[in-house]
Amino acid sequence: MSLVSDTVQTDTVLELIEPSLIDLGYEVVRVRFHSDGRAMLQVMIDRADGAEISVEDCSLVSRTISVLLDVADPITDPYEMEVSSPGLDRPLTRAKDFESFSGSEARVELKSAIEGRRRFRGRLLGLDGDVVRMVVPLDAVETEFALPFEAIEKAKIVLTDELLAAAQRERTNQG
């Protein structure tokens, strides 16, 4: 289990789908299975080339996953599937995400406390080996923390006005 997949069942799904998606030029960001009322398999993807995920990408990946899961049948009960991009406030699930999004504001929750804290909100400074570095404002003082990647329970980018403005500028420049 990892930040990409958090149960034995989703580990199995990840093992089945990841090689084919890599061959198609995609990376799996996260696989989750929710059963709040109705069972839902959620798969988040990125394009390996860094381009934005399109509806066509999601459709292709969804069809590919459906074929793979129909053959292997790792989920015996009925379920629905959702394939999506991670979005602006994306989860950070792979070590490389913490490097790629260096400079961004993020929330990180640890499995157990470090220096008396489990939750951190601040600016990512990147990755140093297997340690995520971030600056967190504490009592008006910027404090740097070194968080072991394996100690992270969950992490995500924080949706800020600056992030929204940057995304809007990027879309304007593209089209």
Please report the domains of the chain, with CATH numbers, ordered by start residue: 8-84 (3.30.300.70), 95-163 (2.30.30.180)
Mean pLDDT of 74-83: 91
Check residue 173 and give its pLDDT.
77
Tell me which H or E stretch contains 117: strand 117-128
pLDDT band at 156, cuts 50/70/90? very high
pLDDT at 120 over 90: yes
Q: Return the pLDDT at 1.
A: 54
Mean pLDDT, residues 52-79: 94
Mean per-residue pLDDT over the chain, rounded? 92
Alpha helix stretches (DSSP H) within the chain: 8-24, 55-72, 95-100, 161-174
Q: What is the pLDDT of residue 92?
A: 97
> How far is 46 from 87, CA to CA, in rounded Å?
10
pTM of the model: 0.88
Which one has a higher pLDDT value, 16 or 162? 16
| φ, ψ for residue 90, nearest 5 deg | -60, 150
User: From CA 148, how far away is CA 170, in angstroms rounded?
Assistant: 32
Mean pLDDT score, 26-52: 93
Inform me whether the pLDDT recorded for 147 exceeds 80.
Answer: yes
| pLDDT of 125 higher than 60 | yes
> For residues 148 and 156, is the Cβ–Cβ distance under 8 A?
no
- pLDDT score recorded for residue 165: 82
